Structure 1
């Protein structure tokens, strides 16, 4: 556990928490375990164990999976990051 910052998690757990927070903020939903596997370059059991540990320590809460639902906010022209990057989305996206 990190004692210097007063946090209740390890540095590695902090990386996962930061990824979960950032991904959720960017995409409006938490990342799937496969998203974390790709990002951190680790095996499925490694990610699952980390998620279980974070939940057991009270750092995250998991919810039952819900099917994705298309909404107007998912259309490319409504994604503010694209305009911030100077990308003009085409209809083909």
Structure 2
């Protein structure tokens, strides 16, 4: 979630799953499962069929600083 916040702040758009995959060095399937789980737990919201639509639902102050 800190990555989504930092990426969005720096790039003025949310990260694609491929951006998350590259940053963490994980597989596309693992990335997709993580994003779906974040959405299921209510931490993010995404628009179906729309790329780069992740919206963080937590206040940024609750997230650790990404270094």
Q: TM-score, normalised by structure 1?
A: 0.52
Structure 1 portions without partners, runs of 5+: 1-16, 67-93
1:65 — aligned with what?
51
Q: Tell me, which stretches of 5 or more residues in structure 2 are unaligned?
A: 53-67
If the length of structure 2 is used for normalisation, what is the TM-score?
Answer: 0.71
- Shift in Å, 1:65: 2.5
**Deviation above 4 Å: which 4+ runs of structure 1?**
none
Number of residue pairs the alignment of both structures matches: 50
Instruction: List per-residue Cα deviations over 1:25-80 (Å, max 9, x = no partner).
Output: 110100000001100000000000000000000000112227xxxxxxxxxxxxxx
Q: Which of residues 19, 23, 28 is equivalent to 2:3?
A: 19
> What RMSD over aligned residues (CA atoms) do the two structures have, in Å?
1.2
- In structure 2, the partner of 1:33 is 17
Deviation string 1:6-43 (CA, Å, 9 cap, x unpaired) is xxxxxxxxxxx000000001101000000011000000
Equivalent pair of 2:16/2:51 in contact (CA under 8 Å): no
